[in-house]
Each structure stands twice: as C-alpha cells, then as structure tokens.
Chain A
Amino acid sequence: MMGPTLGPVLKVLAQLAILLLLAPLVTGLIKLLKARLQMRRGPGMLQPYRDLYKLLRKGMVIPHTASWLFSATPYVVFSATLLAGLMVPTVAAETPIGLFGGVLAMVYLLGLGRFFLALGGLDTGSSFGGLGSSREMTIAALAEPTLMLAVFTVAIGAGSTTLAEMARAAIGQQWRFLAPSQILAFAALFLVLIAETGRIPVDNPATHLELTMIHEAMILEYSGPYLALIEWGASIKQLLLMTLLINVFWPFGLPQVWSASGLFTGLGWLLLKLFLLSCGIVLVETTNAKMRLFRVPELMATAFVLGALALVSTFLL
C-alpha cells in the first residue's frame, strides 16, 4: 500500500503546494456554505482564487505616511505564516520540517506575522490602522494562554511538543478524542480558532463597517499585490489552524509518513474533515451575532477555563 517515502525537498514542496492551493479553497468553501445556510446564492467556491489573481496583477497605492516597514510587512506575514504551515501535519503525521520547530515555533511564527501586521497598521497614520492593531493585539494576547493550555493538554498525552509526535500519539488511540480532557481541549481550541481567524462572534470578516472591524481595519491601506499576500497569508493561517485541530484530534485515515500513494488518501481524508469543520464554523457564524468588543474577553475567559479544565481532567479522569 505504501509507496516509497518522499525526499525532504519534495515533501516541503508538496506541503507548500497543498497550503498555497488549498487555503483559498477553504475560505471559498466557508463563504459558500455560509451563503447557502443563509438562503443566499453567494459567490462560487473558486472566487478567492480569482480575487487573488486579480489583486496580484493590480497596481497599488502606498500611503504618503508609510515607511519601508509598511512594504516589508506583507512579505514577513506571508513567509512567516507559510513557514508555520510547514510545521503542521497535513496529509501525513510526519511534517516536512518537523525538526525545525514544533507547536511552540508555529505559534510564535504566527505571532511574528501578527507583530508586523500590527506595525503595518500603525504605519499608515490612520486611526483605523491603530484601532485594528490595538484590538488585534489585545484579542491575540487573550487567546494565547488558552491556545497554550489546550496544546499542553495534548502535549502531555503525547509527551512531546512536536506536532508530528502529537498526531502520531493520536493515531495510536483513535477514540481518544472522546475522552473528557480531549473534548474540553478541542472546545477551547475551537474558540481560539474563531478568535484567531477573525470570525463571528469575535470579528466579522465580511464587514467594512468601521466601528466593528478588527483585522480589516488593520489592513485597510493595503492594496494590489500587498493585499493579495496578506489575504493569502490569512487564509493559510486559517487552514493551518483548522488542520492542526483536525489532525491532532481526529486522525482517522492519516498516514504515518509521506508517500506517493498515501498522499492521495491523506488528502482525501483531509478534505473531508476540512469540510466537516467548515460546517461547524459556518453554523457558529450564522447562529451568532457579533459580540461587542468588550464582551470578547468573557468569551476568551470561558475558553481559558475550558483549557484549564481539560488540563486538570487529564490527571483526574
């Protein structure tokens, strides 16, 4: 069944291709599902690709006030997110560059991207940029401890912070995700996913109403290819967080190592599970209204408590 395992460079290239090509698809899928659930026709699933293609070819306007940092930001965000993506198991438990960093490096690379994005928002001199940066950093700071607690809970079970080891440990115990600690950790991570990807009820990715937006406010001044890089980076970040959730908690059909034949079965399972998780996100987005900004800390506190309970229940139950 297993073909020959792939060489390291091939693995990196394959994973890059998966991340780059799949990320806009998932964004499109969520948009489409959401539209259908709300009885709208909605744009086609391939719309994000068309958007990216168009943005990459368009001209751009750089604000007078901006410095070199404004122009460097899209590159840093894009490559840091992509590199973080290389550390996550996608179609096999093995990661292409697992030795370079585990879940901690992944979280901190996303943090690096966010750091620059927030600076890029401030660099424009507009109040929207500052507003977005301030809120983004605050919410990220509140989500961070929960993310870590949930990750630690899984890491305790696996005895490692390497994502490949965590996925492998999950493969070994297919039904472990039903254990109370894992359910709680999953719930906590799901809330973090909602917050980190800027979805309702934390942020609304569809709005450009000034007072409610966070992520969109921060990148308001970006246009053309720079905007394409940032949007692409954001959808890759969403994909990698979803993949992390999927492969650490539901590793059904996940092969141990990369191989030519395993690639396609792994990809098939990944697509199926991404579809299911997207349905969950869409349900949450459709049945909730966006929260006031100062209600978000309560949501994050709930997530933190869930994470703490998950941790405690690994010892008690």
Chain B
Amino acid sequence: MGGLIAYLAGAVAGLAGLGAPRRPHRQARSRVEKSLCHWAFGLALAGALLEAAAAAAAIGQPAAATWSLPFGVPFFSWTVRLNALSAYFNLALGVLSAAVSIYSLGYVRGMEGRRNAGVLGFFYNILLLSLTLVFTAANAFFFLVAWEVMALSAYCLVSFEHEKEETRRAGIVFLIMSHAGTGLLLIAFLMLGQAGGTLDFAAWHHLASRLPAWEQGTVFVLFLLGFGVKAGIIPLHVWLPAAHPVAPSNISALMSGIVIKTGIYGMALVFFDFFAIPPMWAGMVVLGVGVVSALLGVLYALMEHDLKRLLAYHSIENIGIILIGFGAALVFRALGHPALAAIALIAGLYHTMNHAIFKGLLFLGAGSVLHATHTRNMEEMGGLIRRMPVTALCFLVGSIAISGLPPLNGFVSEWLTYQALLGGFGSTQKLARVVFPIAGALLALTAALAAACFVKAFGISFLALPRSEKAAEARETALSMRIGMGILAAGCVALGLGATWFLPIFDPITEQTMGGRFSAMLIAGNGFVLSAGTPRGGTVSTAEIAAMLVLLTALPGLFWLVWGRSSRRAAGPTWDCGLPGLTADNQYTATGFSKPIRMIFSALYRPRREIQAEYEVSPYYPTAIHFESEIEPTFEKRVYDPFLEWLLRVSRRLRAVQAGSIHAYLAYIFLALIALLLFGVRG
C-alpha cells in the first residue's frame, strides 16, 4: 500500500509539470520558458523515479493494492490497482522514462528558439501519466479512458514537428489505426462486461473461459487484433514505421520502448488472466503471428537506411519474439504443462523489459546522432565513433543486446524462449512437436538477420570515414543525454549478467496467472546459472560467460608479452587497389550491405531499381550515375490500398442516404426507434 501512495505521488508530480510549461506563449521565448521546460522534464524524472521505486516495492506484495478516486458516476469508477503484472510494466516504464527524462533535458536544448519545447514537455507528462494509468486501471471503463488519453497525447507528440508533410501523414495514420483498434477493444470489453455483469477487471478473472466456445473465439480474436494494432503485429503494423521515426527522438524511445508494450500488457492481461485456459488454436495463432512479425519485421528493417525507421521495424521484430513466448505459453496451458507455460511467459515478459531498455537506448542513440548530424540517413553518416565516442559505445552495447548476443540481456530472454520452445518437443501433441522446433529455427533466422542488420546499422553509421560534411563535423552530445544513454546501457549489462537475480521478480506474476512460483526452478548451480527447469535441460550462465571472456583475453595478452613486444605497430593507409587515395565514396553503403539479402528475398521485397548513366563520349566513361532502388511496400499496396479503395467506394454509395432533407432524417430516427423498441421487447 505504501508503494501505491508513492506511485500516486509520482503521478501527481508529473501532473504538476503539466501546467507549468503552458504559460509562455510563442512570442515569449525567454529564460522563463527554458526553466519551465526543464521543470517539466525534471518533474517527469522525479515521477518516473518514484514510480520505479513504488513498482519495485509493490511487485513483491502478495495482494493487489487498489485505490479509488473519490468521484465518478454509477457503474464507472476511477479505480487503480497495482498487482504483480501491472507493477512489472510500471517498473519498465519507470526505469525507461527516468533515463529518457534525463536525456530530454539536453535534447530539448536543441529546440530552443526554434519551437515551443514547453508543449513537448506538457504532452510528455500527459503521456507518462496515461501510460501509468493504462497499466494500473482496475476496470474496463477507466482503462479505455486512459488508453484514449495515451493515444491522443502520443498523437500530439508524434505530430510535434507538424510542418513536415511526412509527419502529419504519419500522425493521421497512427490516429486512425489506433482508434480502429480501440473500437475492437470496446466490443470485446462490452462482451465480457455483459457476461460478467461488471466492468471490474478483478471480477473478470477466468471469466472469458466460461463463455460459449464461439464467443470465446470472438473475444480472443478481437483482443488480439485490438491490442495487436498498438503492439504493431504484422499485418497491423503499418502505422509503426511511419510514426516512430518522425517523432522527436526522446518520444520515439518512449513509443518503441513502452507505448507499444501497452498492447503486450493488454494481451498478457487477457490471455493469462481473463482466460483460464484458452483453446489450443488460440495459442497457435499467437505463435504464428509472433513468428511472422519477428521475421518480416527484421527483413524489412534490413532494407532501411533511415536509422530511425530501421529501429522502428526492429520493434515489430521484438514484439514478434515476445509473442512467440506468449504463444508457446498459451499452447502449453492448453496442453496442461503449467511449468513450461510459466517459462514461456517469463521469456516473453523478460524480453518485454529487455526490449524497453535496449530499444530505448538505441532510439536515444539515434537521437544523439540526429542531433549531431541533422540527418536520419545512414548513407550520410560514418566515422562517428571518433567524433562521438560515448554515443558510439552506448549504441554498440544496444546493438549487441538487440542482436541477442551473450552476455547481454537480449541473449537471456532469447535463450529462455528457445528453452520454452524446446520444452514442446516432449509433448505428445503431434502438431506442437513439429511447430515448436520450426518456430525455434525461424527465431534463429530472425536473430541472425538482426545481427546482420545491426552490423549494418552500427558499422555504416559509426565506423570508417564520414560520408558527409555534417558527419565529419559532428560533435558529442550534451552530458545529460550521455547520462540518459549510459543508464540504459548499464541496464542492458545488468539485466544480462544479473539474470538470476532478476528472475524472482516474475514469481508474483506467475503466481497470479499460473498459480505457482517458478523462478527457483530456473536457477541452478551456484546461483549464477540459468537452467531450463528440467533435470537434464540446458543451462547457461551469462555472468560466468562474461568472466571467462575477460579471463581468456589474457591469453592473447600473454602471446603479446612473449613474442609481440618487439613488434612494431605502424599506421598506414587502407588498401585502395593502387588508386589515388581512399575516399568515403569507396566505402560500402547501407544499401550495398543489404543487397545480398535483397536479392535472396526478392520474392518478398519485389525490388525495383533504375540506373541512369550520363556520359559525354562513351557509355563506359560515365560522368554521373543516377541510381534509384526501392522495395515494394507489400502490405500497404496489397492489403491497405484495396481496403481503402473499397471503403471509399462504400462510403460514396452510402452518401445517397444523406440527402440533406430533414424529412428523410426524421424518418431515419423514427425507423431506428421502432427497431430498437422491437429489439427491446423481444429481449
């Protein structure tokens, strides 16, 4: 209960930041605005820290703490509750937003004089508050209110740089898709509300499983689609790579880090709390959606050379990995293996936290690069590792983590996901025995492609020679921005090496959903070793891998001592084939780097390219070459465009109903009334 009060104090602190930055008007760009703007982010930081502390405190508490605001109308109460699941998501929110708030202090300085950063601070606080409320709302009504506030504040933040056409368009697409998703959620909530007679989440525990089979299916699909829009599952993802890159980078970090996780929170709530044991096909569907999202997400990411769009596509990939864990958990529940289901759920939730941390870090890093070079195009970066060493190091840590390489945090959650999938081999169900290993193999493909993609992202942006003047003159970012990134980079290391200390955090969640504590099963040996939970299952220890890596580096050091001391180290030019001097033009480009992938998966990309050489004497001696290459946006072109056309056609036809005659409208009202009365009498 103490935790809940502290968290509310945090939320209020966030609220206090709201009013402040509103006052200065555009013409009054003065020190007042600057200090108020800093106040806004400072208060957000305080709120975030309080919230993280409160969530950490609340996570171990046995009973859910609830607290009602003392106003409201009958049926609709403004109640928040803090149970294990919501505390976990609040913890992720608190840690991420603390780092992002520190980062923002320096980031908004770049906006001074150009735009009103106070507005940014205002909506930033609203977004954080609404996110907290989404994670803690205790009934469907309050949840939807918070959900809408979140969507609207996120829309305002995405459209912050609204003078650009691209930004406006992305904002509108986001808003429309978000509302379509909310519509689906509303239907599903109403169906559950009708069945349960209340809108209270606490009363909906295992409620969905008491519905008739077809209603169960409908509710499940509605929730999957409704939350899926927000999470960015394929094919409902189209808003995500449009909206995340155009937002200011600190907002992108929040959007990718935690806003899309509200969809994951919703799914966790529905799949593991509202449903006792969902039908088998439901788990398979979630698993399939996860695999498709993960693979297509990374494949599209590989084709991007806009750094922020690349990261946005990786969010789709990681949501897919989380859903692979959730899907496996659902299948295991349907098959009656609670322990395996718990491992799969833990894998998914662990990846949720990890993704919040490393994707937040990567977006902040991209923001620093954008800040320094004023471009999102990787082809105009390069050589930044020398100009911005701290940013480069942080981005490298994030890249290793997101590629799932040991010993950082991405490896831990992917390892748990593999172990969960491997657990399915022993099952007696034929389908599961084939599906799970295939899903595992595709997860391996996804992870390897992600590594390729981040070699490209880091290598092209940060290494070798600068590809443009702006990159050559880049400067390291402000201290507060470096601190913000440093916190998240430290988080990646801590969640990787300290995995066994972090695991007990899931005990209350599995107790709430699966009725058991499982973390002890996952820790073996001397307390540093993760185990798959089965007696002969796999084990891994990231802490000891890290220690051994350091120890083994001593070996080459020894060689050097014995033989190498007398050897000379000279700096020389890179081999340039004897041509006069190596320039940035000789370097591999991001487009070139991903060309093999583009060729191999051309059936998916349907690439189009155009080369025009300008020449004066002979085509073999071109004076200039114009190269254009693009891939087909399959989903936009094949799914959304036809649907949009159909929608417009139908609306055009429906326009006939709207004749503009008041008599006709009165007739409609009358007919509708009669129909409702008949419906009421019959019911």
Contact = CB atoms under 8 A, between A and B. Distances in A.
Contacts of A133: 455, 459, 588, 593
Contacts of B660: none
B21 to A, nearest CB: 40
A148 B600 CA distance: 20
B122 interface: no
A86 interface: yes
A80 B541 CA distance: 14
A100 B541 contact: yes
Contacts of A148: 440-441, 443-444
A83 B538 contact: no
A277 interface: no
B545 interface: yes
Contact of B600 (A60, A104, A109, A294): A294
B556 A74 contact: yes
Contacts of B537: 159-162
B386 interface: yes
B671 interface: no
Contacts of A98: 539
B415 interface: yes
A97 B548 contact: yes
Contact of B536 (A109, A123, A153, A160): A160
Given A109-B406, A144-B448, A122 B574 contact: no
Contacts, number: 279
B514 to A, nearest CB: 23
Interface string A40-76: 0000000000000100111111111111110000111
B406 A141 contact: no
A160 to B, nearest CB: 4
Given A100-B541, A161-B537, A140 B567 contact: no
A79 interface: yes
Nearest to B532: A161
Given A129-B588, A137-B452, A108 B406 contact: yes
Nearest to A139: B596
A307 B559 contact: no
Contacts of B597: 138, 141
B68 interface: no
A99 B454 CA distance: 30
B446 to A, nearest CB: 9
A162 B539 contact: yes
Interface stretch (B36-44, B340-348, B422-430): B422-430
Interface residues of A, number: 92
Interface string A73-100: 0111011101100100000000001111
Interface string A103-121: 1110111011011001100
Contact of A311 (B437, B539, B569, B587): B437
Contact of A141 (B425, B430, B451, B545): B451
Interface stretch (B226-234, B239-247, B397-405, B471-479): B397-405
B582 A65 contact: yes
Contacts of B448: 111, 137, 140-141, 144-145
B658 interface: no
B529 A99 contact: yes
A262 interface: no
Among A57, A66, A138, residue most surrounded by chain B Cβ atoms (within 10 Å): A138
B458 interface: yes
Given A126-B582, A130-B587, A145-B444, A69 B464 contact: no
Given A57-B567, A145-B445, A126 B600 contact: no
A35 B441 CA distance: 37
B652 interface: no
A124 B383 CA distance: 10
Contacts of B75: none
Interface of A: 16, 53, 56-69, 74-76, 78-80, 82-83, 86, 97-105, 107-109, 111-112, 114-115, 118-119, 122-131, 133-135, 137-138, 140-142, 144-149, 152-153, 155-156, 158-162, 165, 220-221, 224-225, 228-229, 293-294, 297, 304, 307-308, 311-312, 315
- List of 3 A-B pairs having minimum Cβ-Cβ separation, nearest first: A130-B588, A122-B459, A59-B568
12 contacts: A61-B570, A64-B573, A98-B539, A99-B524, A118-B452, A125-B586, A131-B588, A134-B592, A135-B596, A144-B448, A161-B418, A225-B559
Given A126-B587, A224-B564, A304-B441, 13 more contacts: A69-B385, A79-B553, A100-B548, A115-B455, A122-B464, A125-B465, A130-B459, A138-B596, A141-B448, A148-B440, A158-B536, A165-B536, A225-B567
Interface of B: 383, 385-386, 396, 400, 403-406, 411, 415, 418-419, 422, 425-426, 430, 433-434, 437-438, 440-445, 447-449, 451-452, 454-456, 458-460, 463-465, 524-525, 529, 532, 534, 536-541, 544-545, 548-549, 552-553, 555-556, 559-560, 563-564, 566-576, 582, 584, 586-588, 592-597, 599-600
